[in-house]
Structure 1
Amino acid sequence: MRRLAETASGSPSSWHSLQQFINGSTWSWDAPRRALAAWVEQRASVRAWTIPQITLSKRGDRLVGVHQRFDSQTGRTVNCQAVTTLFLSCPGANFPVDWHLHLPEEWVKDDQLRQEARIPTTATSEPSWQLALDLIKRSVRRAGRPNVPIVADLSEAGELGAAISTLESLKAGFVIAVNPRLRVAADEVPRMHRSGHFSQHGAALSASRCLELYRRRYVYTATMMGDNGDFRQTQILSALIRLPASPRHVYRLFAEPGDDVPEQSPIWLTNLTERRLEELLELVVMHASSKVTVNCMNERLQYLGFSGRSYPGWHHHTTLVSAAYAYSRLAHPALPARAAASQIA
């Protein structure tokens, strides 16, 4: 922060003023985030709202919200902050416009920790999937119903039926990652007889098992454009299913498999049943690329290195770096992200 302040002012106390502006001041971050989202919408061809779950490795135990958790990507237990972010995504770019910080139980039940971190009484300990829904509802209150699909990771949702009801009440198209063990009901699930032939009967089974049964007969080959501009072919497993909690609605399960569909493979559920599978897979790719954007902001641009203990300070910081990142990509479209970011600093 001292180096950042020195680029804007020669005053030896300017860094302290900047620190107070971020950590100690009381300004609300809601209005700036709403303005940022509107600014991005005017300048980018937004194709989706993407909401990934992010784990930011941290050192120490006094940073706001820091805790120990198992990271499925690395297979290790890490000291981290768990973050849920809403991006306005378009091909080749993702712009963070709203953030949630997961607060473990120990952070909301310990009065001393709450006081030291200035955690408001309205902040509670909620699972990441619930924070994703809160971000969606908050953005709808700010900007109205989205006219683009919502792509989110709800694979840890304890009440997926309630989550889907929330999304459908917003009249939004959605593509959501679900738990492979999710129970689904398929009107026509291919089953193998002892003779080696398939027959079709209604069944209730897990999402992963449903796609495994469809593998031999209902594999779709999609042609996608890669990051380098070349086309590639990929296989997609897909099945029209119903959920026991809402049997009147038809959804589509789909996955891009490897050699099989193991329990840990990402499986997606959508109400956009009329969309081509290529379009659905493009939305999934945008969701994956939003995680790459966070890694870029955290590691290459070093935007997410906030080391303060203040809950408002964390939200102030993420608001400012979101604006800085959007400015670096949209106000200087001809410059690489690194060069534009250096101009901001």
Structure 2
Amino acid sequence: MTDFTGFTQDVFGHLPRVDQRRWADAYLCGLLTAPGKKTVSRLAKGACLPRGAAQALQQFISASPWDWSAARESLARKAAVRLPGHSWTVGTTLVEKRGEHSVGVHRRFVPEAGRTVNCQVGIGLFLTSGSESVPVEWSLLMDEAWCGDEVRRRRARVPDAVRAKPAWAHVLELADRLAALKVSGPAPLVIDRHCALDAARLAAHLQLRERDFVLEVRPDQPVLPAPHAAIGIGTLPGPDRPVSARQFMREGGARHPSVIDVEQGGRTRRVQVFSAPVRLPGTSPAAPSTGRVHRLIAEQFSAGRRPARFWLTSLGDRRTDEVLSLLRGPSLTHATTQRLEDDFGLLDFEGRSYPGWHHHMTMSSAAYLYHRLQHCARQPARL
């Protein structure tokens, strides 16, 4: 069994004060034991703390000046050891909020809910194996209304370096931070459509970093045929005229689909996989197309007439089934994010400050990893 004291010493032993380390232990214990919504009062009760301790826990999370990056580095190293051969995946979490004072809160249309909500949006980087996904780094989406308001920034203690940027830029920043730690060897970055809305720009920056990737793209993603693209029965566009990914595949971009059995929802389903080399049109002078050839993959389940999902990857030398095995990663990450929200208090931060949000996300991630290590100790298997 993973020793709780040893785990907290590894993750929070860098905290300079004894009281900070004690409150970190208590907060983590509360996240692991308190039922339901993880309010600080319930965390204090779950950790068997005396009356009045809830205020101290709130102070530790929201106001105490401790470094969350060192704790996350420890989590990343532990996860990398437990997950050999992992990929990097990205997950998002949306926290509905009342009012406008919680850091990063803004109005956003949520397609899944079909409505506009007042919310915070967190973007997480996960290490993901064939069966498990573990959060190791987080970023908070901040819009210009927040970043351009010095009064709100000062009140929420937002660092000067934080600026408004799109989700794909947050993904790059997260990947850069994890890469700098050198916790593992090169790993492909696998991202579904929620964080890869500007796939061409994201791909351009990833290839500048020599980072392999698998990005889900929309069916209307513009692509250009590569010089050696397969010619099917249809007519491909000219070399400089982009068409949608769907049209490219439909009009002769790929031939001879592979038929592969995949696991989905506990069932094995047969899927046709089309694959063809493509290029991406230029995006801007800051991130121009290099003309590099990527691989466009389309999945079509037997019940559908059109490819259900499209993916763009730099892994042109990998077998199709190897690339497809990576596509399960985002689903595992979504499941982990849901578990973090339901059981480990990911949505339950009650403070308003930027450091407090990062402290809480770090504690929630630590609670999840500790729980998984305990589970694996009881049922010996690779995480």
Give the shorter-chain TM-score range.
Answer: 0.7 to 0.9
Matched, 1:326 2:369: yes
1:308 aligns with 351
2:200 aligns with 160
1:6–1:273 CA distance, 2 compared to 1 (3 A): same
Q: C-alpha deviations, 1:91-135, integer Å up to 9, x for none? A: 221100000000111111222221221111111111111100110
Structure 1 segment 108-147 matched on structure 2, within 5 A: 108-143=147-182, 146-147=185-186
Judging by fraction of residues, say which structure has more strand. Answer: 1
2:262 aligns with 224
Alpha-carbon separation, structure 2, partners of 1:106 and 1:144: 36
Letter in 2 for 1:160: A
Q: C-alpha deviations, 1:66-96, integer Å up to 9, x for none? A: 1111112233222221221100011221100
Q: C-alpha deviations, 1:19-48, integer Å up to 9, x for none? A: 111001111111111111001111223421
2:82 aligns with 43
Letter in 1 for 2:200: L
3-state SS of paired residue (1:332): helix
Whether the aligned pair in 2 keeps the contact of 1:54 and 1:291 (CA below 8 Å) is no
How big is the shift at 1:319? 0.5
Pick aligned residue for 1:291 from 334, 346, 353: 334
Matched, 1:183 2:209: no
Q: C-alpha deviations, 1:261-284, integer Å up to 9, x for none? A: 58xx64211010122222222212
Q: Provide the identity percentage.
A: 35
Alpha-carbon separation, structure 1, partners of 2:274 and 2:337: 29
Alpha-carbon separation, structure 2, partners of 1:36 and 1:138: 14
Alpha-carbon separation, structure 2, partners of 1:64 and 1:127: 17
1:173 aligns with 212
Whether the aligned pair in 1 keeps the contact of 2:230 and 2:254 (CA below 8 Å) is no
Whether the aligned pair in 2 keeps the contact of 1:145 and 1:170 (CA below 8 Å) is no
Alpha-carbon separation, structure 2, partners of 1:252 and 1:304: 37
2:245 aligns with 207
Alpha-carbon separation, structure 2, partners of 1:150 and 1:314: 25
Structure 1 segment 242-321 matched on structure 2, within 5 A: 242-245=279-282, 246=289, 248-257=291-300, 259-261=304-306, 266-321=309-364
Alpha-carbon separation, structure 1, partners of 2:326 and 2:53: 44
3-state SS of paired residue (1:52): strand
How big is the shift at 1:236? 2.2
Letter in 2 for 1:120: P
How big is the shift at 1:12? 1.8
1:4–1:145 CA distance, 2 compared to 1 (3 A): closer
1:236 aligns with 273
Alpha-carbon separation, structure 2, partners of 1:215 and 1:36: 43
Q: C-alpha deviations, 1:233-258, integer Å up to 9, x for none? A: 11223221122444652211113246
Q: CA RMSD in A?
A: 2.6
Letter in 2 for 1:319: T
Alpha-carbon separation, structure 1, partners of 2:358 and 2:69: 10
Structure 1 segment 26-65 matched on structure 2, within 5 A: 26-65=65-104
Letter in 1 for 2:76: A
Letter in 2 for 1:13: G
1:241–1:96 CA distance, 2 compared to 1 (3 A): same
3-state SS of paired residue (1:125): coil
Whether the aligned pair in 1 keeps the contact of 2:138 and 2:358 (CA below 8 Å) is yes
1:198–1:119 CA distance, 2 compared to 1 (3 A): closer
1:257–1:214 CA distance, 2 compared to 1 (3 A): farther
How big is the shift at 1:152? 2.1
1:125–1:261 CA distance, 2 compared to 1 (3 A): farther
1:53–1:199 CA distance, 2 compared to 1 (3 A): same
Whether the aligned pair in 2 keeps the contact of 1:84 and 1:102 (CA below 8 Å) is yes
1:225–1:200 CA distance, 2 compared to 1 (3 A): same
How big is the shift at 1:220? 2.5
Whether the aligned pair in 1 keeps the contact of 2:80 and 2:86 (CA below 8 Å) is no
Whether the aligned pair in 2 keeps the contact of 1:211 and 1:261 (CA below 8 Å) is no
1:247–1:303 CA distance, 2 compared to 1 (3 A): closer
Alpha-carbon separation, structure 1, partners of 2:139 and 2:318: 30
Whether the aligned pair in 2 keeps the contact of 1:83 and 1:99 (CA below 8 Å) is yes
Whether the aligned pair in 2 keeps the contact of 1:70 and 1:78 (CA below 8 Å) is yes
Alpha-carbon separation, structure 2, partners of 1:170 and 1:217: 32
Alpha-carbon separation, structure 1, partners of 2:129 and 2:167: 24
Matched, 1:100 2:143: no
Q: C-alpha deviations, 1:131-189, integer Å up to 9, x for none? A: 001101111111267422111245322x824x334322333221012344333221436
Whether the aligned pair in 2 keeps the contact of 1:63 and 1:308 (CA below 8 Å) is yes
Matched, 1:18 2:57: yes
